[in-house]
Amino acid sequence: METEIEKIERGLNIVIGWEMCEKKRKKLEALVKKPVLTSNDLASLLQMKVRSTHNFRKRYKVPYMFIHGRYYYLWTALLTVLQALEVVD
C-alpha cells in the first residue's frame, strides 16, 4: 500500500515529470508535514513561478485563504484538486 508521500510523488511525476532525487524527496516530505502551504510552497511543489500559482488556483478552482495579503492552501483542499485531476488516488 502506498504512503501519502508516495501518492503525491507519483502524482507530481505524472503532472510535471518531477523525477525524485533524494533532495526533492526530502523537500516534499517537509512540505507534506505542513498542514497549510504558502504560495511559495505551492510553487516549489509544482515547480512553477510563484506568480503562476495564481493561474493554477483560478484554473483548477483551488480553495485558498487570503490573510494579511498572503495566500494559503490547505493540504486537504490541494489533494482534493489533485484527485479531481486524477493525479492522486
Report pLDDT digits (tens) over 30-57.
887 888 999 999 888 887 899 999 998 9
Contact (CB, 8 A) for 24 and 18: yes
29 falls in which pLDDT band (50, 70, 90)? confident
Distances 51 to 34, 41, 44 between C-alpha atoms, Å? 21, 12, 12
Which of 2, 35, 28, 15 has its CA nearest to residue 86? 15
Residues 34 and 19: their CA atoms lie apart, in Å, by 22
pLDDT of 14: 60
Domain borders along the chain are 4-84
pTM of this structure: 0.70
Grid coordinates given for 2: 502506498
Residues 84 and 66: their CA atoms lie apart, in Å, by 23
The letter for the amino acid at 17 is G
pLDDT at 15 over 70: no
How is domain 4-84 classified at the architecture level of CATH? Orthogonal Bundle (1.10)
Contact (CB, 8 A) for 28 and 46: no
